[in-house]
């Protein structure tokens, strides 16, 4: 039954609805897999076994009664520990919050439950989500990469990416301020989507404490799904996106259809390297092979950065915006002058305009998700390559664009390589559909050689 554990969430939901598998049986398989494999990975940090089995039984009863069910009905899944889920710890990996147990669900958690998902556990994070290189904290320890235990799964959603790759869950939800979905997805060989800024509500995604008020600084921070197929990203986004609270009374959100439905119709921008964050030879070779396969399949390839996009300047501007975001959330409020903030706002909007203009002629842009494959675990005195890893994720984050990390081959040593697919604002399904079609010629998820 191991093959069942590596089905996509969308496919497994269809099997459950067709009666070919019971939710109770599936939950048991997943929990047994976690028992066998997780001790070596340390990816899932809290498990609510009995509650999950009860939820699975309820799912089976609903199907037996032919009740109307959601698209994730009966599907076991995990969520990043930084989301509040009623009855579960949400500590952000910080000893100061070790005793905090959420008494309510984050908006995303509530919507996933409403779609029928069986949320059975939480996954490890970097302490206070402050590391994209490693996934470790004093409370839960360090998560290792299922492809090579001497290497990191990336951060800060490293636990979720590792759990997905190893077959411990069918779906994961994470967060991405500075690459915390895209980098772990690339390091672990799974799919990860940072949606268009503001698409998925952030309510309940916060450090422990009273519910946080709304903030217009949400143009940087995004929450989004990780999965083993692009189709699962679409399913997860469709049930979690859309306005919340008062806004939900004013308008309804709908996923805009993809611009194209055939790979040969896509106009694909390509940038595979830059001196500011040079890709390794093995990553570059895998990405080049992927582009060659897309070209052979008929996609129109357009090379070079968009007019008006200076990636170095945009990376610097993104760094400023992150510091401003942190200042708003308790950091140094005097880190910059008002004049500097005004100038950076203008640069951000100029970047958005340049990308909007580019996507009037091109459908998606391909670039590295990371400049390297999964890094060896770093010691406390090792230099962390934040700049190099942050460079490639910065332009999409600065402009609030949807950006998806997808598997794009492996290095000669067998480590996954991820390609980043960036698309026009509010056209998330264009990047998802491209990733879905590209998998047919580039290859999609493959399971790592995890024992158990």
Catalytic residues: 80, 156, 180
Residue 20 Cα distances to 15, 25, 103, angstroms = 5, 11, 36
Tell me the sheet residues that pair with 205.
83
d(CA 105, CA 124): 18
d(CA 26, CA 21): 7
Q: Which two tokens stand for residue 300?
A: 């129109």
The answer to whether residues 57 and 24 touch, using CB atoms and an 8 Å cutoff, is: yes
Strands (E) located in 141-232: 141-142, 172-176, 191-194, 222-227
d(CA 114, CA 116): 5
The answer to whether residues 312 and 361 touch, using CB atoms and an 8 Å cutoff, is: no
The answer to whether residues 81 and 101 touch, using CB atoms and an 8 Å cutoff, is: no
Helix orientation angle between 107-114 and 230-240, rounded to the nearest 10 degrees: 110
The answer to whether residues 173 and 80 touch, using CB atoms and an 8 Å cutoff, is: yes
Question: Is beta strand 118-123 parallel, antiparallel or unpaired with respect to 416-422?
Answer: unpaired
Provide φ and ψ at 365, rounded to 5°: -115, 130
Q: Which two tokens stand for residue 246?
A: 């008062």
Rounded to 10 degrees, the C-alpha dihedral 156/162/167/171 comes to 20
| Nearest residue to 323 via CA among 386, 404, 401, 392 | 386
Contacts of 202 (CB under 8 A, 6+ apart): 107, 218, 221, 223
Reported as half-sphere exposure (CB side, CA atoms, 13 A), residue 235 has a value of: 28
d(CA 78, CA 253): 25
């Amino acid at each position: 039954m191991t093959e069942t554990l590596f089905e996509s969430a969308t496919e497994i939901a269809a099997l459950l609805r067709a009666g070919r598998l019971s939710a109770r049986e599936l939950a048991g398989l997943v929990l047994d897999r976690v028992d066998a494999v997780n001790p070596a990975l340390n990816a899932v940090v809290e498990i609510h076994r009995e509650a999950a089995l009860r939820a699975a039984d309820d799912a089976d009863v609903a199907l037996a009664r032919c009740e109307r069910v959601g698209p994730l009905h009966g599907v076991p899944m995990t969520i990043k520990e930084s989301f509040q889920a009623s009855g579960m710890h949400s500590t952000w990996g910080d000893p100061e919050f070790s005793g905090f147990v959420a008494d309510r669900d984050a908006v995303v958690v509530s919507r996933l439950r409403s779609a029928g998902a069986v949320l059975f556990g939480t996954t490890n994070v970097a302490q206070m989500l402050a590391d994209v290189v490693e996934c470790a904290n004093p409370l839960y320890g360090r998560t290792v990469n299922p492809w090579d235990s001497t290497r990191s799964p990336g951060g800060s959603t490293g636990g979720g990416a590792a759990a997905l790759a190893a077959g411990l869950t069918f779906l994961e939800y994470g967060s991405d301020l500075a690459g915390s979905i895209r980098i772990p997805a690339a390091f672990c060989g799974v799919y990860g989507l940072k949606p268009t800024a503001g698409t998925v509500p952030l309510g309940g995604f916060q450090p422990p404490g009273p519910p946080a008020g709304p903030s217009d600084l949400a143009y940087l921070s995004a929450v989004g799904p990780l999965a083993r197929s692009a189709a699962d990203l679409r399913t997860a986004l469709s049930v979690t996106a859309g306005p919340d609270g008062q806004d939900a009374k004013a308008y309804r959100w709908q996923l805009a259809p993809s611009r194209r439905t055939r790979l040969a119709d896509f106009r694909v921008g390509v940038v595979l390297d830059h001196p500011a964050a040079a890709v390794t030879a093995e990553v570059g070779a895998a990405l080049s092979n992927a582009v060659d396969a897309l070209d052979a399949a008929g996609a129109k390839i357009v090379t070079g950065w968009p007019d008006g996009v200076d990636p170095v300047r945009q990376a610097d501007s993104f760094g400023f915006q992150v510091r401003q975001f942190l200042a708003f959330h308790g950091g140094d409020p005097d880190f910059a002058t008002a004049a500097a903030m005004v100038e950076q706002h203008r640069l951000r909007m100029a970047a958005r305009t340049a990308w909007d203009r580019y996507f009037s002629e091109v459908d998606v842009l391909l670039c590295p998700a990371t400049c390297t494959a999964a890094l060896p675990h770093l010691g406390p005195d090792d230099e962390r390559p934040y700049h190099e890893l942050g460079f490639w994720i910065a332009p999409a984050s600065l402009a609030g664009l949807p950006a998806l990390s997808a598997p794009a081959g492996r290095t000669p040593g067998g480590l996954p390589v991820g390609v980043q697919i960036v698309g026009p604002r509010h056209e998330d399904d264009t990047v998802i559909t491209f990733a879905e079609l590209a998998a047919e010629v580039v290859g999609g998820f493959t399971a790592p050689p995890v024992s158990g």
